[in-house]
Every structure is written in C-alpha cells, then in structure tokens.
Amino acid sequence: MRPWLGLRSLEELNRAAARRDIRTQSGHRIEFVRPGDDPRPYEIQVFESGAIPTRADNLHDWFNALAWLAFPRTKARMNAMHAAQIPRERGQRGPLRDLLTVFDEGGVVVACADEDLVHLVRELRWKELFWTHRSRVREGMRLLVLGHAALEKALEPWPGITCKALFVDPGRGFDQQAADWLDQLPPGARARDLAPLPVFGYPGWADNDDPAFYDDDRYFRQGKAG
C-alpha cells in the first residue's frame, strides 16, 4: 500500500483506481463515493454498481480504499462472495461471511517459503519464532496486512494486535494467490481455520527488541492452535 499512502481525497483515490482499471467481479469499475441513501446492503451496492461508500476523513474507510488498490482481485472476490451469500441468509450472517469479514478487517498475507517458520506460527510458538529465529523471520517472512481495521489500529501500535494469516508463495503474485485461495475455500470454511498471528511481535513492528517482550502470555499464548 506504500505507493498510495499520499492519496487523501476521493478524487485522488479514484484516479489511482482508474489507472489500474480496478473492477468488481460483475464488471463495474470501482469508484469511491460519499455515502448516500442507497437502501441496498453495502456489499450488494458495491457488486451491482462498483460504487464504494467512503466517508471523507475516515481512516477506516481510507484504509479500505488502499486495500482495494493493493489487493484488487482479492477485494473483488470477497465482495462477490458476500453478494452471493447475502440473499440466502435472511439477515443472519453465516460462517462463510464471518470468515470473509474477519479476513477483510484483520487479514495478513504472509509470504514465506520457510516451512519451519510457518510451522512455528501454526503451533503458536511465538518466542521461538520472533526471537530465537529473529534473523530468519526478517529475511524470510514478509507480512502484507490486507485488513483495513488492523491497519487503522497500527497507527497507534499496542500489544494485542492480532491478524488472521494466509500463507502464500513469495515467488508468485500475492493478490492473485489470495484471490485463488478464496475461490478454493471448502464448504464449511470458518474464520477459526485461519492461523492467528500477533503481528506486533514481528521484528520492528513495535518496541520488541528484548526477549522478555515475548514472555507476556496475555498476548503471546503458547501451544498448538485448535
């Protein structure tokens, strides 16, 4: 998202989206618009028109716009999946949309070819990961935060910021891999299937250059994930 951090107005965001020709899966070019009185659910409105309600000077909405610029395929796929599910749910959000919402708000794409590091994440062995293998993490594990709520929280980092991780091949396009993963979700997929990752433990994310930082089990709970 770094290339677009200087974009502030809707006009600037829309010019960037137009240059990338970002579209919904229904074929509409996306446009960041001021919220109006459209009665349709948010995801349906986006899918059917390409219009993304975006409040001026609202950081949550701004990070959502940046996520569209950085992960256009992934965002379009999530939107299409929401739009397909909403008419079937009768007002009660189901497990699939729960997963989509959690990933959209707090997802992190983890580019890592080091299976040992991935294993440590899945086993919740945080001190071993972030301290014992600190140099390997710096060199071989790249975090790309997609979740716009997580990005908003990161403006004032605090122990406890945890994302849901999707592991991808660092040698291939991250956005396409995330979109492909969404396409291949099995029936019954749930948010709990995604590995938790306390991103503030990543070297340099916070003031964490001390092994004692990782001994606080309020935030670094040890043991295998369920």
- Please write down the HEC assignment for all residues of 193-206: HCEEECHHHCCCCC
The answer to whether residue 95 is domain-embedded is no
The answer to whether residue 221 is domain-embedded is no
Which DSSP letter does residue 94 get? -
Would you say the C-alpha torsion 27, 32, 38, 40 has a positive or negative sign?
A: positive
From first to last of its 226 residues, the chain has per-residue pLDDT tens of 667 778 889 999 999 999 999 999 999 999 999 999 999 999 999 999 999 999 988 999 999 999 999 999 999 999 999 999 999 887 788 899 999 999 999 999 999 999 999 999 999 999 999 999 999 999 999 999 999 999 999 888 777 889 999 999 999 999 999 999 999 998 889 998 899 999 999 999 888 999 999 999 888 987 654 4
Residue 27 phi/psi, 5° resolution? 100, 0
Q: Are residues 65 and 8 in the same domain?
A: yes
As a whole number of angstroms, the distance between CA 215 and CA 44 comes to 45
Extract the tokens encoding 19: 């240059």
Domain containing 156: what range? 102-215
The answer to whether residue 187 is domain-embedded is yes
Q: What is the model's pTM?
A: 0.93
As a whole number of angstroms, the distance between CA 215 and CA 29 comes to 48
Q: Are residues 71 and 41 in the same domain?
A: yes
Q: Are residues 71 and 174 in the same domain?
A: no
Q: Are residues 9 and 86 in the same domain?
A: yes
Amino acid at 135: S
Q: Are residues 135 and 205 in the same domain?
A: yes
Strand segments (E) across 71-134: 107-112
